Amino acid sequence: MIDNLRRRADGAVDEQLAGDLHRQADFLEAQMSRYEEVVAGIAQGNDPRLIARMTQETNKAIHEKGFMPFDEAKVPGVDPENYWYVANEAAPPPYRVFHKSGTTPRLMLTPDANHGSGYRLVEDLRHKSVHTFAAGTSKADALQWLLKPGKSFGPYRQMLLDHKLATDNEILGAMMAPGGVTEDVLRLHLKKAFRQRVLDHMIYANPTNKTLLSAAESTQRFQTMTKGLNSADYGSLGESWYAMYNKAFGKGDNTLEAHPRFFDEDGGKRLPDFVERNLDGNTVVEVKSTREGLSDRDVEQIRQSLKLVEEEGGSVTTKGGESLEIDGFRLVFTQQDGAAKSLDDIEDLYDAFDEVDFKVEVFLASGSDVFSDMKSLRDALR
C-alpha cells in the first residue's frame, strides 16, 4: 500500500494530490514502525511502553513550553538509568515514557515553580492499575464489580433499565466470560453490545419499522438518556447520535463522513469529528457534548480547524483516501448549557477568524438551530 501510494504521488499531475498521497504514505509508515515496536515488545514478553495520562496541565505545558527533556536534573527523583523519555517534537501528545523493567507507573506533569519549565514529571497516583478478573469469576460477580460507586457502567446500566432497553439478565447474557479479562475490556464489550439499541431509541419511535421521532423528541430523548452518563460515554454517544440525527432531519443534499484527517501547522495529525459534503462546499464539523463549556484543549482543536478553512486550498483526507477542499467550519453543541458557557471563547474565535465561514449549531428545546454571528447566538441563549 505504501509503495503504491508513493508511485501514485510521483505520477500525479496535481501537486496537492501528490502531497496528500505522500502524507498518507508517511502516516502508514509511522504506524507500521509503531506496530513493529509493539510486536517486538510482546515477543520479548515485556512491552515497556506507556502513554502518560493526558491532563489539563500536561496539555497546557505542551502548548506553552513544549516537550520537557526527561533527565534527573529537570525531573528530580527519577533514576535516569531506569527511565527515559522520548521527546519527539514532531509528534502530538501524549508523552511516551519507557522503563527498562517494563513496570512504568503512570506519569503526569504537575506545576512546580522551582523548575525553569514551570512543571515537573511525577507519578500519577490517582489511577490504580486496572482490575483483572480472576479465573472462574462468575458473570454476576463481575457485574457487581462494574456497578461499584464511581465506575461508569452503573449509570449506563441504569439508562438501559430506565428506558427498557435491557434487563440485568440480558446484560449478563451479553457478557463475555470475565475470567482473565480486565474490567475495561469487559465494560467496553458490554457497552458495545447495547450501543446500537441505545442510539436507535434516541432516533426512532419504533426501531423495528424505523418510524422516526420528531426532531424535538429526538433531541429531548438524547439529552434525557445521557444526563447521568460518564463524560466519555456522553461524548461518544453524542457524536454518533448527531450523525444519525443529521441523516434523519438534516438537509437532503449533505453527507457526513466521520474522522477525516489533516495536518496542523506543526505537523500534528488532526482528526475532526466529521467532514460534511455539500453541493456548495465542504465543511469540517466538531460536535461538543458538554454542559460545562469548552476546555482549553477544545478551543485549540477548534482553532486548528478554523486555520485549515482560512488556509487557501486547505483540505482533509477521508478514510477512503479522497482529498476534499474545505470551505467552512461548524461547531455543534448538543447541550444549550454548554454553548452558553462557551460564549466568550466562541466570540474570541469569531474575532480571530472573521473572514472564515464559521457557524455554530446549538440543540435547543425544539431541535437544532444554526447561527453565523455572535448577536443572534447570544440572543438565542439568553
- For residue 133, is it within any domain? no
Pairing status of strand 211-212 against strand 204-206: antiparallel
The residue count for the chain:
382
The answer to whether residue 129 is domain-embedded is no
Q: Which of 247, 279, 312 is the endpoint of a domain? A: 247
Three cell numbers at 111?
506545576
56 within domain boundaries: yes
Residue type, 291: R
- Averaged pLDDT for residues 108-113: 63
When divided into structural domains, the chain yields a total of 4
Q: Is 267 part of a structural domain of the chain?
A: yes
Task: Indicate whether 256 and 376 sit together in one domain.
Answer: yes
Are residues 155 and 111 located together in one domain of the fold? no
For 114, the domain range is: 50-123
| pLDDT over 70 (residue 266) | yes
Whether 217 and 314 map to the same domain: the answer is: no
pLDDT band at 101; cut points 50, 70, 90:
very low
170 in the same domain as 55: no
Q: What is the pLDDT of residue 215?
A: 92
Q: If you average pLDDT over every residue of the chain, what do you get?
A: 79
Q: What DSSP line would sit under 8-67, residue for residue?
A: HHHH-SSHHHHHHHHHHHHHHHHHHHHHHHHHHHHHTT----EEPPP-HHHHHHHHHH-P
- Tell me the average pLDDT across 33-60: 45
Q: What is the pLDDT of residue 50?
A: 35
Residue 79 inside a domain? The answer is yes
Question: What confidence tens digit (pLDDT) does each residue in 284-343 have?
Answer: 999 998 888 898 888 999 999 999 999 988 999 998 889 999 999 999 999 999 999 999
Same structural domain, 291 and 347 = yes
Percent of the chain past pLDDT 70, that is, above it, reads 73
pLDDT at 67 over 70: no
Instruction: Look at residue 32 and tell me if it is in a domain.
Output: yes
87 and 104 fall within a common domain: yes
Taking residues 39-62, report their average pLDDT: 42
Q: Single out the residue in 79, 96, 123 at which a domain terminates.
A: 123
Average pLDDT over residues 132-139: 92
**Whether pLDDT at 85 is above 60:** no
Same structural domain for residues 185 and 263? no
In sequence order, which residues have a C-beta less than 8 Å from that of residue 71 and are 6 or more positions away?
A: 80
Which pTM value belongs to this model? 0.67
Task: Give the count of beta carbons closer than 10 Å to the beta carbon of residue 345.
Answer: 17
Q: Which cell numbers hold the place of 316?
A: 482533509
